[in-house]
Amino acid sequence: MTVEKVNKIPAMSHLPNEPISVMDAIYQRRSVRDYAPGQLSEATLHVLLYAAVQAPTAMHEQPWAFAVIQDRNLLDRLSETAKQTVWLQAQGEDPSGLARRSVNLISDPAFNVFYNAGALIVIYGKPLGPFVAADCWLAAENLMLAACAAGLGTCVIGLAVPALNSPEWKRLLDIPAEMTAYAPILLGHPAGMPPPPPRKPPELVCWK
């Protein structure tokens, strides 16, 4: 996708199905880890990117930039780097650490951190103040809810963050050194929907 292609507000008719309500999208969104083969159209990606940038940002900075990766070979290589990076991190962690808890998964040579999804969108933040991470994650949730409303599956892949922020991968993807990868989001046509993991009720610490 070129920059020119995303410089126009897209028509919602590019979405594969009739949109559902925001509340339905919030409750129906699941982290999908099983994808049917097939790519997403540029028009669909375009709609989702525009949904992402409708998120609120501190001082209206809009401090983000997006990478869209659909190249299977590149995704497979990035998955391998992600696994190596997490494995190295785990060596210095105590057993409760996140990387350490992922070691069984990433030690399986057949495991692909991207679950063979058709696309990965990475939301990068520019160094524009203390709320950049929050801004990027708000954009991430917008994108995931819009994808859910369009019948698509998504999954945040935190395991890929250290690899994406390595100088090697920034160079390979032409990402400016000063940007930080916050939210790698898988996208694709779900092959199946997982059941909703149970939620804790909201813990109230104050209601005056």
Q: Which residue, 144 or 179, has its beta carbon nearer to ligand FMN?
A: 144
Radius of gyration of the chain from its Cα atoms, rounded to whole angstroms: 17
- How many other C-beta atoms can be found within 10 angstroms of the C-beta atom of residue 194? 13
Report the nearest approach of ligand FMN to the CB of residue 8 (Å): 31
- And the tokens for 70? 């659909």
Q: Are strands 119-125 and 180-188 parallel, antiparallel or unpaired?
A: antiparallel
Place of tokens 């028509």: 11
Report the nearest approach of ligand FMN to the CB of residue 145 (Å): 12
Total residues in contact with ligand FMN, by rule CB under 6 A? 9
Residue 123 in contact with ligand FMN, rule: CB under 6 A? no
Question: Scanning residues 19 to 48, which ones bind ligand FMN (CB under 6 A)?
Answer: 30-31, 33
- And the tokens for 197? 């993991």
Binding mask 147-186 for ligand FMN (x = CB under 6 A): --------xxxxx---------------------------
Of 207, 208, 152, 151, give the one whose Cα is nearest residue 185. Answer: 152
Binding mask 189-208 for ligand FMN (x = CB under 6 A): --------x-----------
Comparing every residue's Cβ against ligand FMN, the nearest one is 158
The DSSP annotation for 6-37 comes to GSSPPPGGGSSS----HHHHHHH--B---B-S
Q: Under the rule (CB under 6 A), what is the footprint of ligand FMN? A: 30-31, 33, 155-159, 197
